Amino acid sequence: MNRLKDKVALVTGGGSGLGRAQAICMAEEGARVVVTDVNDAGGEQTLAQVQAAGGQARYLHQDVRDEDRWQQVIEDTLSHWGHLDVVVNNAGIGVGGTVEDTSLENWRHLMGINLDAVFLGTKHGIRAMKATGGGSIINLSSIEGLVGDPNLAAYNASKGGVRLLTKSAALHCAKAGYGIRVNSVHPGYIETPMVTKAMAGDNGDLVRAHLESLHPLGRLGQPNEIAWGVVFLASDESGFMTGSELVIDGGYTAQ
């Protein structure tokens, strides 16, 4: 119950899915959690669930593409709780399409949320943490940041970018002596609203069966199975990990 005692953690995209699970699990382990999202109703629901379980949390509205807002959210966190120890760059969207079919508009929209925002969260997280003795930055990539999919050109590019940005930032922090670790997490298909939306409709059962068949374990992952990996990376238990990829994918990329 105390793996993250006295740590302050910021989770973007915390209003649903993986972000909600991460916020709840980190609070269960003693962290004080700042939940951010553009979905205020979802963010408030996450806040209520954390508090109902006895955890400490705050909710702040945040468009992760806005650099000024990043600075405001971090300044607010430091003012309220005095330090920032963990940043989880979790917010993301999925847009399908081949490299031929993807419009430049859709490409730029996806990159803004999936990659530009991770850059901003990493940059400003480092600036806050290096002044208070270090911390852990956790960037949500994907199996699609490790292998290609012909129908996910923009998503592949964004998640591959997150993977290598993470390594660059990890090396920078290590060589500068900041005491900040930076790692990426690579989930397989997890039963979140983004994935269940793809399984809606008349062919939902067929879509689910197909997605499950892609994983040697024969099922979709659950949000908590990713969240506990994030807890590990946020904790001192992972103190010798930086620039690494934590793959939690039911065997997807082992094939």
Matching residue, tokens 């990043």: 70
- Catalytic: 155? yes
Our measurement of the distance from residue 135's CA atom to the centroid of its chain's CA atoms, rounded to an integer in Å, reads 16
Helix axes 104-111, 153-176, angle to 10 degrees: 30
Cα–Cα distance measured from residue 104 to residue 65, given in angstroms and rounded to the nearest whole number? 17
* Helices of type H across the chain: 17-28, 40-52, 67-81, 104-111, 117-129, 153-176, 193-198, 204-213, 223-234
Cα–Cα distance measured from residue 136 to residue 183, given in angstroms and rounded to the nearest whole number? 8
**In angstroms, what is the C-alpha Rg of the chain?**
17
DSSP codes of every residue in 132-185: TT-EEEEEE--GGGTS--TTBHHHHHHHHHHHHHHHHHHHHHHHHT--EEEEEE
Give, in degrees to the nearest 5, the angle at Cα 34 between 93 and 227: 60
Q: CB–CB of 4/231 below 8 Å?
A: yes
Q: Among candidates 89, 92, 25, which has minimal Cα distance to 57?
A: 25
User: Which residue among 155, 178, 189, 252 is the active-site one?
Assistant: 155
Residue 236 token pair: 């001192």
* Bridge partners, residue 23, by sequence: none
Residues with catalytic roles:
155
